[in-house]
């Protein structure tokens, strides 16, 4: 989901950059106030850990493999503000050392994966945790949050691509959203598995950091995440089908447009056969979310030892 250079136009890159600076600034301010001195090295080492954990390849099928992104994992282990800082550092280093994600898109990548992914993931985690107690609640919340955070970050990414006039929103949303609904399953499963392993080896690491978050903080963070999402999604709510045609007209390359696409689209919309109308995409989204939640619940049940449940 790392956006390379050239995929965002300058206004979008500048907007996301400003949002990322604000978000990371707020996280730094929050961390400075509440993070004890002795935890400072923990941030750097956890960032290195996330980076190293991303190198462990989980075999998926037919020679492909997936790896952890780690935003929700960091948020559960350290709390939201430190997790934002950790993920920001991971993304900065990936940009400068690996050239993974472009320099002009660094703001967008930090915003999607480091801020929306972490904050929205943490809010989902905190809300879901209330449904079940103990380790079961932690694993359920983390697995579901891992999925939600991946999908939400992908939706943000789709919004940015569409705002830049590179890919139509009606194409970007189903493609990015659909693919990441699958990738998110892996993220959710790995996050829960790693947390279960940590809980087995050093349960006190989870007890201290994963205590129930207070409601006010969660509601505030939820509002922030919703606002952030709205920035990139709401421009399309009024004109669902097309942002690009307008842009194409403005830039003057609309005469290139033909009625027939050059290649047939792999999925015309991610609709369900026989169901028509504007509510197909949201419906598919809702069904996907419910399925992911059910999976998270099953997984958490499987991973919780009987006596701890």
Partner 1 sequence: MRHDFLDRYSRQDSPVHRLSAEAKLVCVLAVIVLTVAAPLSALPYFAGLACVLATVALAAKIPMGYLGMRLLWMEPFVLGVGLLTLFQPGGWTIFTGIVVKSTLSLVTMVLLANTTPFAEILRVMKRARMPGLLVTTLALMYRYLFVLVDEAERMQRARLCRTFERRRWIGWKTLATVAGQLFVRSTERAERIYAAMLARGWK
From the list 20, 95, 145, 224, which residue makes contact with partner 1 (rule: CB under 8 A)?
A: 95
What angle is formed at CA 117 by the lines to CA 101 and CA 247, rounded to 5 degrees?
60
Question: Which region among 94-102, 112-120, 139-147, 219-227 touches partner 1 (by CB under 8 A)?
Answer: 94-102
* Residue with smaller CB distance to partner 1, 78 or 116: 78
* Residue with smaller CB distance to partner 1, 59 or 274: 59
Our finding on whether 134 is near partner 1 (CB under 8 A) is no
**How far apart are CB 208 and partner 1 at their closest, in Å?**
11
Cα Rg of the chain (Å, integer): 20
Question: Which region among 28-36, 126-134, 144-152, 293-301 touches partner 1 (by CB under 8 A)?
Answer: 28-36
Show contacts with partner 1 in window 44-83 (CB under 8 A).
Answer: 44-49, 51-53, 55-56, 58-59, 68, 77
Question: Which region among 91-99, 142-150, 222-230, 286-294 touches partner 1 (by CB under 8 A)?
Answer: 91-99
Number of residues binding to partner 1, judged by CB under 8 A: 85
Residues 6+ apart with CB under 8 A from 26: 81
Residues 6+ apart with CB under 8 A from 93: 47, 51
Show contacts with partner 1 in window 172-201 (CB under 8 A).
Answer: 172, 175-176, 189-190, 193-198, 200-201
Question: Which region among 129-137, 144-152, 165-173, 275-283 touches partner 1 (by CB under 8 A)?
Answer: 165-173
Our finding on whether 237 is near partner 1 (CB under 8 A) is no
Rounded Cα distance between 19 and 116, Å, is 11
* Residue with smaller CB distance to partner 1, 148 or 190: 190
List, in sequence order, every beta strand (DSSP E) within the chain: 58-59, 65-66
Question: Which region among 101-109, 121-129, 138-146, 220-228 touches partner 1 (by CB under 8 A)?
Answer: 101-109
Burial class of residue 143 in the structure, from the number of CB atoms within 10 Å of its CB (0-12 exposed, 13-18 middle, 19+ buried): buried
Site string for partner 1, 201-230 (x = CB under 8 A): xx--x-------------------------
**How far apart are CB 215 and partner 1 at their closest, in Å?**
27
Q: Are 218 and 127 in contact (CB under 8 A)?
A: yes
From the list 19, 72, 75, 90, which residue makes contact with partner 1 (rule: CB under 8 A)?
A: 90
Our finding on whether 86 is near partner 1 (CB under 8 A) is yes
Our finding on whether 156 is near partner 1 (CB under 8 A) is no
* Residue with smaller CB distance to partner 1, 181 or 218: 181
Our finding on whether 32 is near partner 1 (CB under 8 A) is yes
Our finding on whether 254 is near partner 1 (CB under 8 A) is yes
Rounded Cα distance between 277 and 149, Å, is 27
Rounded Cα distance between 47 and 68, Å, is 13
Rounded Cα distance between 296 and 145, Å, is 9
Which H or E run includes 278?
none
Residue 112: C-alpha distances to residues 39, 53, 145 (Å): 26, 20, 15
* Residue with smaller CB distance to partner 1, 208 or 238: 208
The DSSP annotation for 154-198 comes to HHHHHHHHHHTTSS-HHHHHHHHHHHHHHHHHHHHHHHHHHHHHH
């Amino acid at each position: 989901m790392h956006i390379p250079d050239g995929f965002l136009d300058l206004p979008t890159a500048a907007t996301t950059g400003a949002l990322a600076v604000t978000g990371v600034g707020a996280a730094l301010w929050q961390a400075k106030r509440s993070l004890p001195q002795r935890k400072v090295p923990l941030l750097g080492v956890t960032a290195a850990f996330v980076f190293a954990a991303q190198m462990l390849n989980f075999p998926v099928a037919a020679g492909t493999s997936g790896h952890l992104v780690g935003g929700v994992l960091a948020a559960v282990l350290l709390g939201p503000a430190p997790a934002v800082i950790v993920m920001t550092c991971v993304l900065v280093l990936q940009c400068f050392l690996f050239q993974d994600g472009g320099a002009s898109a660094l703001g967008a990548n930090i915003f999607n994966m480091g801020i929306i992914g972490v904050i929205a993931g943490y809010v989902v985690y905190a809300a879901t945790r209330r449904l079940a107690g103990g380790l079961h609640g932690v694993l359920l919340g983390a697995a579901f949050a891992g999925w939600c955070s991946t999908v939400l970050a992908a939706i943000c990414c789709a919004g940015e691509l569409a705002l830049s006039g590179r890919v139509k929103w009606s194409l970007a949303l189903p493609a990015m959203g659909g693919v990441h609904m699958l990738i998110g399953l892996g993220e959710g499963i790995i996050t829960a598995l790693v947390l279960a392993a940590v809980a087995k080896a050093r349960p006190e690491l989870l007890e201290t950091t994963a205590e129930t978050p207070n409601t006010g903080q969660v509601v505030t963070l939820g509002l922030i995440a919703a606002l952030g999402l709205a920035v990139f999604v709401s421009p399309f709510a009024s004109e669902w089908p097309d942002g690009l045609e307008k842009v194409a007209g403005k830039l003057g390359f609309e005469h290139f447009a033909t009625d027939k696409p050059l290649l047939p689209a792999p999925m015309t919309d991610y609709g369900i056969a026989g169901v028509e109308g504007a509510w197909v995409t949201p419906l598919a989204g809702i069904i996907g979310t419910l399925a992911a939640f059910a999976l998270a619940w099953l997984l958490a049940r499987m991973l919780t030892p009987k006596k701890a449940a």
